[in-house]
Chains A and B, each alone.
Chain A
Amino acid sequence: GAGVSQSPSNKVTEKGKDVELRCDPISGHTALYWYRQRLGQGLEFLIYFQGNSAPDKSGLPSDRFSAERTGESVSTLTIQRTQQEDSAVYLCASSLGTTTDTQYFGPGTRLTVL
């Protein structure tokens, strides 16, 4: 079946510009997560949506980062006034949102800020 999809796969932008990254979770998954992976490093949690609950934004590194989710479907991660240190792969994952859930990851969006 269809997995988590992300777009674009690659994004090159200039410092100071805004970018939007999109995630389409697996159908029926109520939980959606965004992570950031810098080159050669592990994954850092950014934000977590669970159904209609208020999102857990505790991982967002600054107020330049924000994310939205429409119901239990698509999510967009927005980075305003991008900086070179924002360059990374941004990964989205989704899960059923139950106590036995497993997170399934998309292929990621590679963001390069020049």
Chain B
Amino acid sequence: GENVEQHPSTLSVQEGDSAVIKCTYSDSASNYFPWYKQELGKGPQLIIDIRSNVGEKKDQRIAVTLNKTAKHFSLHITETQPEDSAVYFCAASRSPDKLIFGTGTRLQVFP
């Protein structure tokens, strides 16, 4: 079955700097790769997703890149702000199907 690995587990950056979180997956048939942000005591919220027919997608300060050959995808947050502090999860699936999640990255943005 699918296995998703996520790094780093924690990430601390200064406000205004960029943050990068990386994930690898094992199932070459996976075709959908969402990223979720989870704040304390809340459910995960989708922030951006990418499908296997696209290499890069950007939404304001957030971008995701996908390398199907290497089976890895990354989340890039530019100009980080304190409100970006949260736990971020990557996931992969053979959409539509269950999501297999990474173990999460706790991002702290210091003012």
Judging by beta carbons under 8 Å apart, are B96 and A50 in contact? yes
Whether B42 sits at the interface, judged by CB under 8 Å, is yes
| A56–B96 alpha-carbon span in the complex (Å) | 12
Q: A26 CA to B88 CA in the complex, in Å?
A: 23
Mark A residues whose CB is within 8 Å of B.
4, 31, 33, 35, 41-45, 48, 50, 56, 59, 91, 93, 95, 97-108
Q: How large is the interface on B (under 10, 10 to 19, 20 to 34, 35 or more residues)?
A: 20 to 34
Q: Which residues of B contact A102 (CB under 8 A)?
A: 34, 46, 49
Q: Which of A41, A45, A56, A101 contacts B95 (CB 8 A)?
A: A101
Contacts of B82 on A, CB cut-off 8 Å? none
A48 to B46, CA, bound (A): 19
Across the A-B interface, the 3 shortest Cβ-Cβ residue pairs = A105-B43, A45-B98, A43-B101
